[in-house]
Amino acid sequence: MTRVNVLIVDDSAFMRKLITSFLQEDPRINVVGTARNGIDALDKIKKYNPDVVTLDVEMPEMNGIEALRQIMNEYPRPVVMLSSTTKEGAENTLLAIQYGAVDFISKPSGSISMDLHLIKDEMVSKVLLAGKVNVDLLKKPLNIQEETTNKLVDYSKIELDSNVNVKKIVCMGTSTGGPRALQQVLPKFPKNFPSPIVIVQHMPAGFTKSLADRLNGLCEITVKEAENGEFLKAGTAYIAPGGFHMKIKKIGTTLAVNIDETEIRNGHRPSVDVLFESISEIKGIPKIAVIMTGMGSDGSNGLIKLKETGQVFSIAESKDTSIVFGMPKAAIETNLVDKVDNLDDIASTVLRFT
């Protein structure tokens, strides 16, 4: 059996020991070394040539963000970030994903988490998955304009009026690699895009607001974390809040967001299946469904439900551009996907059908 060789980078000796212990319990993982900061990490990568690096964000001398930039420039390989759920931690995590990190793990209670055992299984699965990703797709930072747009964003509830009558809806599902994918797709939609976009990105609570804010600054359309009870309007993308399912319900000629904490589906809340299934119950409105990079099969059952209703055009991201070709592959295997697109072409395909 080929094992995944891992380097663990954290400024806390306690955390290094704990993470090592958890990962070494799985026979498929071999911890080849540890490092106490970014500078030490670069030396250890050169020495041990690990398959995967787990990298703490907050460290002295050289933090995780700077270390990641050098790793992807000099020794490109899959990196899984460990981050706190503070606002600053969430923003740094999203920046790390832009610079090439394959995924992140949220520490339950800050930099030194005595309850790290709560995410033990997640750590093991994400490290194993990282060993299988397409590193070539992660090498180069995303070429994204960093200047934020000057549009006024209104996060309050939208009033019910003729401006929120929905003629068509776009629904998207993403997981591992999704933040990078969304940063490449959503900025291509024009400000006057005639439909609302609803998105499930697998993320824990505390991260989706930062993701929405970051995307909002990069896009001509408005991007926001969805709020319970608000009405959908054209030219706005709504991201399901971490830890909650998002469902869309028809009210008269309008569509409204329903957020709840019903049971976890496919190991996820929010779940793409839950979103898609709720949209499948909406009659008389054409739908465009998009499934992009991610581990597992979330979204496939929802796609089946959507297709049963008709008036659905479905798109899956290609293997060539998927960081993880799990969710798109599962969707394609339903034989219900109308078009398989490289990431750069997804927005233009959606625009042709709206």
Q: Is residue 149 one of the residues assigned to a domain?
A: no
On whether both 130 and 262 belong to a single domain, the answer is no
Q: Are residues 191 and 308 in the same domain?
A: yes
Measured distance CA(83)–CA(22) in Å, rounded: 17
Based on the fold, state whether residues 77 and 36 are members of the same structural domain.
yes
Residue 144 inside a domain? The answer is: no
CA 350 – CA 248 distance, rounded (Å): 20
Residues 177 and 316 in one domain: yes
Q: Which of 298, 300, 314, 318 is catalytic?
A: 298
- Active-site residue flag, 298: yes
Examine residue 154 and state whether it is found in any structural domain, yes or no.
Answer: no
The three-state (H, E, C) secondary structure of 92-140, written as one string = HHHHHHHCCCCEEEECCCCCCCCCHHHHHHHHHHHHHHHCCCCHHHCCC
If asked whether residues 65 and 204 sit together in one domain, one would say: no
Domain contains 213:
yes
128 & 246 share domain: no
Structure tokens at 323: 């960081």
In a domain, 150, yes or no: no
Whether 51 contacts 76, CB under 8 Å = no
Q: How many domains does the chain have?
A: 2
Residue 103 bears catalytic tag? no
Same domain, yes or no, for 128 and 250? Answer: no
Strand, coil or helix: 287: strand
Asked if residue 299 and residue 172 are part of one domain, the reply reads yes
- CATH code at 12? 3.40.50.2300
Query: Catalytic annotation on 260?
Result: no
The model's pTM is 0.89
* Together in a domain, 193 and 298: yes
Give yes or no: residues 133 and 208 share one domain.
Answer: no
**One domain for residues 210 and 75:** no
Asked if residue 145 belongs to a domain, the reply is no
Tens-digit pLDDT profile for the chain (354 aa)? Answer: 789 999 999 999 999 999 999 999 999 999 999 999 999 999 999 999 999 999 998 888 899 999 999 999 999 999 999 987 677 878 888 899 989 999 998 887 555 556 678 889 999 999 999 999 988 888 765 655 444 333 333 333 333 344 457 789 999 999 999 999 999 999 999 999 999 999 999 998 889 999 999 999 999 999 999 999 999 999 999 999 999 999 999 998 899 999 999 999 989 999 999 999 999 999 989 999 999 999 999 999 999 999 998 899 999 999 999 999 999 999 999 999 999 999 999 999 999 988
CATH number at residue 187: 3.40.50.180
Residue of 175, 210, 300, 318 with catalytic role: 175
| CB burial string 94-124: b at 16+ within 10 A, e below | bbbbbbbbbbbbbbeeebebeebeebbeebb
Among residues 196, 138, 95, 137, the alpha carbon closest in space to that of 342 is found at 137
Give the C-alpha separation, 57 to 44, whole Å: 17
Q: Which domain holds residue 14?
A: 4-137
Point out the catalytic residue in the list 202, 213, 300, 341.
202
Whether 216 is in a domain gets the answer yes
Indicate whether 301 and 253 sit together in one domain: yes
Asked, for residue 100, whether it belongs to a domain, the answer is yes
